[in-house]
Amino acid sequence: MINPIVEILNSKSLRLAAAVICLLTILITTASAAHLESLKIPPVPADNPQTPEKIELGKRLFFDRRLSGDGTMSCVTCHDPETGYSDRLAISLSYPTTKNWRNSPSLINTAYNDPLFWDGRAKSLEEQALFPMMSAFEMNQNLDFLEEELKGVPEYVDAFQKVFGREITRQRIAMALASFERTIVSRNAPLDKYLDGDNTALTPEQKKGYEIFTGKGKCAQCHTGANFTNNKFYNIGVPENSVLINDPRVTATMRFTAKVSGYKEYRSLTEDPGRYLVTKDKKDWKAFKTPGLRELALTYPYMHNGVFETIDDVIEFFNRGGGVDKNKTPLLAPLNLSDAEKRAIRAFLLEALKGDVTVVKMPDVP
Ligand code: HEC
Ligand code: HEC
């Protein structure tokens, strides 16, 4: 006997309907792919709701140097509110005697990013927060030790009880940090007002820049949505930062990271393999995540390795059609922008995406 449900599923009309739905979804997603949106409140996971007390606890932890092995570094060391929640260095700071190998991204609007990191190896802010603490070249802390250390501080014992009704664990440390990070946002940029219907919010030059960004410049192929990223990975041919091979301590960090990711040829590595280390898929070799573009005036230098000091360097780079790499994405081609067009894109990027950034003052760290 034929199962009636299978029969229905096999029916021609149903398959046709499924095909139409599929096609519609594709059409809708492609149509919205190149659209910029004004910024809404960031998403919050159901199992880690925001509360004022949790945010405050997260802020204290963010500033607390106990989170690092030798007690000299906090998250602020590399994500300083005074410098756009970054450290303004091409290659980020690092644990004493070691060297980092990538640029420290600004944490402004990181709440909208999914996945996180230049190579997307963390799925949530809760998951991400433990990485820098454990990393040998970042905070180099032992998490069992950290839990005991914080349990020796009565203010933290009380605060975790109040916030979670439970004792201090690494997961709860990460949850509090993530809650705080979700409050670091840039809102009310001229572009948000413009997209919400205020036609006077952009100057004529910024408006021209917006049109090039979404039109001739083809930037919105990748920098799309409310936070200007499609959260996908591309090899756009960014030149290597020469310290990767010229500074033995940076080389060591690069090879160590590749080794622990399970890449067998890590000893001969001379460049940053990017997303490849996460997927081990050849097509991801040197692919990096499309970064969000808000508050660019604060977040220089640019790219995963900070090789571009100014926004003009970045615009020139895209105008040439990106860099030179055999694996480079076909989405980039020379743009032939005039000087006036370059100035307009610059005005759009530096001024129209500049909004009100959360101001954070040093809390009382117990
Ligand atoms: C020693 C410097 C350093 C310290 C300390 C540090 N970070 Fe970072 N952070 C970085 C670097 C470098 C990256 C990018 C690494 C990568 O993508 O491979 C990063 C990436 C991130 C990201 C991903 C952002 C995104 O949108 O993709 C978040 C979130 C973050 N850090 C939060 C924290 C928190 C929370 C702490 C404290 C527990 C912290 N960081 C401590 C250097 C640091
Ligand atoms: C094919 C997708 C793609 C297109 C098209 C594209 N970008 Fe990007 N963009 C990226 C990726 C990926 C990165 C990061 C690359 C890296 O670090 O190696 C990036 C980095 C940037 C940065 C540096 C941000 C930072 O915080 O470091 C800026 C600024 C930028 N793009 C602006 C533009 C502009 C302007 C255009 C159009 C002229 C454009 N992009 C077109 C994918 C794209």
How many structural domains is the chain composed of?
A: 3
Ligand index nearest the alpha carbon of residue 79: 1
The arithmetic mean of pLDDT across residues 239-265, rounded, is 98
pLDDT of amino acid 34: 57
- Average pLDDT rounded to a whole number, residues 115-123: 97
Cβ atoms of 223 and 290 within 8 Å: the answer is yes
116 and 197 together in one domain: no
Out of 125, 138, 276, 277, mutate this one to test ligand 1's pocket (max ligand atoms within 8 Å of CB): namely 138
Ligand 1 center from residue 129 Cα (angstroms): 8
> Residue range 268-290: average pLDDT?
98
Most ligand 2 atoms within 8 A of CB, residue of 232, 314, 335 to mutate: 314
Question: Would the CB of 238 count as within 6 Å of ligand 2?
Answer: yes
Residues 145 and 196 in one domain: no
Q: How far apart are CA 90 and CA 101, in angstroms?
A: 9
Whether residue 177 is found in the same domain as residue 202: no
| Residues 58 and 92 placed together within one structural domain of the fold | yes
- pLDDT score for 25: 44
Give yes or no for residue 304 having a pLDDT over 80.
yes
Residue nearest ligand 2's atom 43 by CA: 222
Residue 157: give the domain boundaries: 52-181
* pLDDT digits 0-9 by tens, 178-196: 999 999 999 999 999 999 9
Gap from CA of 104 to ligand 1 centroid (Å): 6
Please determine, for residue 32, whether its predicted confidence score (pLDDT) is greater than 90: no
Q: State percent of the chain over pLDDT 90.
A: 89
Q: Are residues 329 and 268 both part of a single domain?
A: no
40 confidence band (pLDDT: 50, 70, 90):
confident
User: Is residue 36 one of the residues assigned to a domain?
Assistant: no
Q: Are residue 90 and residue 109 in the same domain, yes or no? A: yes
- Mean pLDDT across 62-77: 98
Percent of the chain with pLDDT over 70: 91
335 domain-assigned: yes
Q: What is the pLDDT of residue 222?
A: 98
CATH number of the domain encompassing residue 331: 1.10.760.10
